[in-house]
């Protein structure tokens, strides 16, 4: 190893002393299972013959396919379990032309036009490799020629377990450099650790299943000094691994340890523990040892509220069980993680607000990252805050900062309080109109009448409910002005009341809406005039005492001819997508298109949205309260899915044979397309940041360990907008003239943001904060107006929710339908 930056490797007495002070781990290297060979002459051949006239083949011969498009060889392959495998095709191509072929697995395109380049002679045999996913049991792997010259001569297919590995040069390196000056490495190079304590290489291994794995580190160490490192998985379970000398920097060896990985992405960090730094690191390979551990613990039992203070709640429960062993418990408050504990049966949640009733649930987890279903839920109320009778100070001078034809903007000086200002009340004409956060010093009040004068005042409040004196009173008046084409919320009217968590809403061609009730499992037809009719109950639907039930709904773009309606709902086996036909009075012919999406009490996703051309249906899913699911490409949880209208998987999806369009999501509940056909999504955060994302094909949006812009976000796509979880919990999302509207539950407000020329969200406005309680779904109708559904409480007391109609108005006072041709309202009209 060449010295660099003036520093040579530390050798001699210090190196020997450090080596003797650290335990050396010596575990025999594990090998992958031997590949299984399938001779081409034993496969099903279409438009081709078995021959033996060119030497060098194995078995009894090889297959020479005809020189036509569509000639094929289909192998029947048996897999012991579902997962990724490596396909190795041995072939010869004595011509100078590439002879490409499609590779399909069980009828789905897995590799598009796999190249089979010339080999120089028909007696020269080489291998071509691809990694694909197989089902457990029998699989059909078909190689089909795509050119008029047909495919190559095929000798055999070998199927071998795909190694879970990452080259060190592709990992995250801290205090080290990628080099290639010593021969024998794999990939493009190796990592030379700096000679310091703490230099590190962090690999990401995407395990197909949870369970015990052999971690095999390939390295070189041309000195006599041991260079031990501490190995952690997702920051825990440190093991010190010895990396003794290998005799030369060109001599590569392996060291193996055992560690439990969870299904999905695992961050494995190897950190130098001595001033010698680590060895030269070539790559890390992980091999599952023994049976996978995909069995989740049982739910914790008998969760009980023990007691509280003004800012904490104490809970206890009975133990969950697991096939291997429970390692800890997560404590949630209505879908948000509050605290985690080890394998103990009690916890205290802190940092809470005084005199508030919270809804508590506990989940068990095991070493492989499997997470149980929810315990029973219990209410637990914090005690009132210590006596506080001192009100906040009066807000500073109230002033008007702008107006549109339907709104006025206000600003004021911040109040102060002996404990803290928690919010502001905004009054118009002596009545409470809306609220603002305690940190706010401005607000926009929408839904007003053009030209009418209003008297405005503001006052502050604290956690004890003390109210300040009112600010000065000013007169404000909505007036036309500003840019053309900006959709502003105007007057609000109630369409219908007495609905039960109206979750999904989609419009029929006649302008009426189909609405799902999450808790009753009913599908309603609602007209703007206020007529409400039940047209069906979703078969097999069930709730989760949380966010599960009947969720998203979408109407076919070809409804006039096919009459199809799509619904996403929870059932006994998870969440699923179903389709029915609407004959004008009822839904019939229910058919399951996709099922088995993991469920839990919370984080079930559920929004549906057709692409602008109507060809593809996008489906949002939640992580089922197991963050590991979001990075695991072997599950549909924590994803945005893309399907054909018949439920089949499009051949051009980013992960062959999978419905996954993007991943790394926690709980997406809003989807819509802008005028350029780009997909946007709103997503619930965990405890720090909610977000809106611009979705790209195959994109990784970071969860977990990245929440919004917080955490380990390297290599992931950052959100376009974030809010604190107390200000949002974004559910529905719709786009009007490239302005994104987001309805929020905890935030009890609508956000509006403009998509600028660079694809960023700017000019945020906040509407209706605290006016209509929790807001669930926001959709734009054919006239360009908004339908908004409310969720008055968290879990859906029967019949206390509403559907509202918001007239959308442009500057100058005209409605959208009067100023903009309907076909330009957004990408969906």
Q: Note whether 572 and 706 are same-domain residues.
A: yes
The Cα–Cα gap between 193 and 495 comes to: 66
The Cα–Cα gap between 812 and 670 comes to: 30
Q: Note whether 533 and 593 are same-domain residues.
A: yes
- The answer to whether the beta carbons of residues 447 and 434 sit under 8 Å apart is no
Residue 111, pLDDT score? 86
Is residue 492 domain-resident? yes
Residue 796, pLDDT score? 60
Is residue 691 domain-resident? yes
Picking from 418, 415, 455, the residue whose alpha carbon sits closest to that of residue 437 is: 415
* Domain assignment of residue 349, given as a range: 301-368
- Residue where one domain finishes, among candidates 368, 390, 423: 368
Q: Note whether 141 and 279 are same-domain residues.
A: no
Is residue 481 domain-resident? no
Partners of residue 804 on adjacent β-strands: 494, 788
Q: Note whether 121 and 192 are same-domain residues.
A: no
- Residue where one domain finishes, among candidates 129, 161, 193: 161
Residue 334, pLDDT score? 87
Sign of the Cα torsion 115, 121, 124, 125 reads positive
351's CB contacts (< 8 A; 6+ apart) are: 311, 312
Is residue 386 domain-resident? no
- The answer to whether the beta carbons of residues 475 and 456 sit under 8 Å apart is yes
Reported pTM: 0.80
Q: Note whether 731 and 711 are same-domain residues.
A: yes
Question: Which stretches does DSSP call E strand in 439-501?
Answer: 442-445, 454-462, 474-476, 488-499
Q: What is the DSSP string of 569-606?
A: EEETTEEEEEEEEE-SS-EEEEEEEEEEE---SS----
Q: Note whether 796 and 753 are same-domain residues.
A: yes
The Cα–Cα gap between 531 and 61 comes to: 73
The Cα–Cα gap between 418 and 518 comes to: 43
What are the φ and ψ backbone dihedral angles of 499, each rounded to 5 degrees?
-100, 165
Neighbours of 379 (CB within 10 A): 10
- The answer to whether the beta carbons of residues 76 and 124 sit under 8 Å apart is no
- CATH code where residue 408 lies: 2.60.40.10
Picking from 601, 598, 600, 619, the residue whose alpha carbon sits closest to that of residue 610 is: 619
Q: Note whether 680 and 811 are same-domain residues.
A: yes
The Cα–Cα gap between 360 and 289 comes to: 37
Residue 28, pLDDT score? 38
Residue 29, pLDDT score? 39
Residue 33, pLDDT score? 63
Reduced 3-state DSSP string for 684-735: CCCCCEEEEEEECCCCECCCCCCECCECCCCCCCCCCEEEECCCCCEEEEEE
What three-state secondary structure class fits 466? coil
Residue 755, pLDDT score? 97
Q: Note whether 345 and 282 are same-domain residues.
A: no
Q: Note whether 410 and 534 are same-domain residues.
A: no
For residue 645, what are its two tokens?
């209208």
Picking from 63, 38, 37, 45, the residue whose alpha carbon sits closest to that of residue 116 is: 63
- Where the chain has pLDDT below 70, the residues are 1-33, 81-83, 162, 481-484, 793-797, 799, 811-829
Q: Note whether 436 and 575 are same-domain residues.
A: no
How many structural domains comprise the chain? 5
The Cα–Cα gap between 630 and 663 comes to: 6
Q: Note whether 176 and 154 are same-domain residues.
A: no
Decide the pairing of beta strands 442-445 and 421-428: unpaired
- CATH code where residue 773 lies: 2.120.10.30
Residues annotated as part of the active site: 603
Q: Note whether 433 and 557 are same-domain residues.
A: no
Picking from 664, 659, 779, 799, the residue whose alpha carbon sits closest to that of residue 731 is: 779
529's CB contacts (< 8 A; 6+ apart) are: none
Is residue 782 domain-resident? yes
Is residue 4 domain-resident? no
Residue 827, pLDDT score? 36
The Cα–Cα gap between 312 and 403 comes to: 43
Residue 655, pLDDT score? 87
Is residue 482 domain-resident? no
Q: What is the DSSP string of 753-800?
A: EEE-TTS-EEEEEEE-TTTSSSEEEEEE-TTS-EEEEE--SSS--TT-
The angle at the Cα of 494, spanning 492 to 498, to the nearest 5 degrees, equals 150
Is residue 384 domain-resident? no
Picking from 504, 405, 404, 528, the residue whose alpha carbon sits closest to that of residue 805 is: 528
- Residue where one domain finishes, among candidates 114, 144, 161: 161
Report the chain's terminal Cα–Cα distance, integer Å: 64
């Amino acid at each position: 190893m060449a010295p660099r930056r003036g520093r040579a490797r530390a050798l001699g007495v210090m190196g020997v002393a450090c080596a003797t002070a650290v335990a050396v781990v010596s575990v025999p290297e594990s090998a992958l299972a031997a590949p299984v060979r399938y001779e081409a002459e034993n496969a099903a051949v279409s438009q081709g013959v078995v021959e033996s006239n060119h030497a060098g083949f194995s078995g009894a011969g090889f297959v020479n396919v005809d020189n036509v498009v569509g000639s094929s060889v289909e192998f029947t392959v048996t897999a012991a379990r579902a997962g990724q495998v490596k396909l190795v095709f041995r072939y010869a191509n004595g011509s100078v032309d590439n002879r490409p072929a499609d590779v399909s697995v069980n009828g789905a395109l897995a590799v598009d036009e796999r190249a089979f380049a010339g080999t120089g002679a028909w007696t020269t045999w080489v291998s071509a490799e691809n990694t694909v996913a197989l089902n457990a049991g029998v699989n059909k792997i078909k190689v089909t020629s795509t050119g008029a010259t047909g495919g190559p001569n095929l000798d055999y297919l070998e199927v071998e377990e795909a190694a879970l590995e990452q080259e060190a040069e592709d990992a995250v390196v801290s205090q080290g450099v990628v080099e290639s000056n010593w021969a024998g490495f794999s990939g493009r190079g190796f990592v030379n650790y700096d000679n310091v304590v703490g230099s590190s290489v962090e690999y990401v291994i995407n395990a197909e299943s949870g369970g015990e794995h052999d971690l095999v580190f390939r390295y070189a160490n041309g000195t006599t000094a041991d260079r031990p490192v501490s190995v952690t998985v997702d920051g825990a379970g440190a093991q010190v691994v010895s990396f003794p000398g290998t005799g030369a920097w060109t001599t590569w060896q392996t060291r193996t340890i055992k560690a439990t990985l969870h299904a999905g992405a695992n961050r494995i960090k190897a950190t130098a523990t001595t001033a010698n730094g680590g060895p030269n690191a070539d790559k890390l390979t992980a091999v599952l040892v023994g049976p996978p551990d995909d069995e989740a613990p049982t739910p914790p039992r008998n969760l009980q509220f023990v007691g509280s203070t003004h800012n904490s709640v104490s809970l206890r429960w009975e133990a969950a069980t697991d096939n291997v062993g429970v390692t800890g418990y997560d404590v949630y408050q209505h879908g948000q993680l509050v605290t985690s504990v080890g394998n103990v049966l009690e916890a205290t949640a802190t940092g809470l607000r005084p005199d508030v009733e919270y809804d508590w649930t506990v989940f068990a987890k095991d070493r492989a990252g499997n997470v149980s279903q929810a315990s029973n839920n219990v209410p637990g109320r914090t005690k009132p805050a210590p006596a506080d009778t001192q009100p906040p100070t009066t807000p500073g001078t109230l002033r008007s900062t702008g107006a549109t034809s339907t709104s006025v903007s206000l600003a004021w000086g911040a109040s102060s309080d002996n404990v803290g200002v928690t919010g502001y009340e905004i009054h118009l004409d002596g009545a409470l109109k809306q609220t603002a956060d305690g940190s706010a010093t401005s607000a926009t009040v929408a839904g007003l009448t053009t030209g009418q004068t209003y008297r405005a005042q503001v006052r502050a409040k604290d956690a004890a409910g003390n109210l300040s004196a009112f600010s000065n009173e000013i007169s404000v008046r909505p007036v036309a002005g500003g840019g053309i084409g900006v959709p502003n919320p105007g007057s609000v009217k109630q369409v219908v009341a007495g609905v039960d968590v109206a979750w999904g809403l989609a419009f029929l061609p006649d302008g009426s809406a189909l609405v799902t009730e999450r808790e009753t499992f009913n599908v309603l037809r609602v007209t703007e005039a206020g007529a409400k009719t039940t047209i069906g109950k979703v078969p097999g639907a069930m709730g989760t005492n949380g966010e599960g039930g009947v969720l998203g709904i979408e109407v076919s773009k070809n409804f006039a001819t096919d009459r199809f309606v799509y619904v996403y709902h929870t059932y006994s086996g998870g969440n699923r997508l179903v389709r029915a036909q609407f004959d004008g009075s009822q839904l019939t012919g229910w058919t399951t298109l996709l099922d088995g999406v993991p469920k839990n009490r919370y984080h079930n996703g559920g929004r549906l949205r057709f692409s602008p051309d109507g060809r593809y249906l996008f489906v949002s899913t939640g992580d089922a309260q197991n963050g590991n699911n979001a990075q695991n490409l072997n599950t549909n949880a924590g994803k945005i899915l893309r399907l054909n209208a018949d439920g089949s998987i499009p051949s051009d999806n980013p992960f062959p044979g999978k419905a996954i369009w993007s991943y790394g999501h926690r709980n997406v509940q809003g989807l819509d397309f802008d005028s350029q056909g780009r997909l946007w999504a709103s997503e619930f955060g965990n405890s720090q940041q909610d977000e809106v994302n611009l979705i790209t094909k195959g994109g990784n949006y970071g969860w977990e360990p990245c929440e919004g812009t917080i955490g380990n976000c390297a290599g992931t796509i950052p959100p376009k907008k974030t809010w604190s979880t107390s200000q949002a919990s974004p559910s529905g999302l719709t786009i009007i003239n490239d302005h994104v509207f987001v309805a929020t539950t905890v935030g009890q407000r609508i956000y509006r943001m403009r998509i600028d020329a660079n694809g960023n969200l700017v000019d945020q406005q906040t509407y209706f904060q605290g006016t209509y309680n929790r807001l669930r779904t926001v959709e734009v109708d054919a006239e360009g107006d908004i339908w908004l559904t409310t969720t008055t409480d968290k879990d859906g007391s029967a019949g206390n929710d509403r559907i509202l109609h918001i007239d959308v108005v442009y500057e100058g006072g005209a409605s959208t339908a009067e100023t903009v041709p309907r076909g330009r309202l957004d990408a969906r009209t």
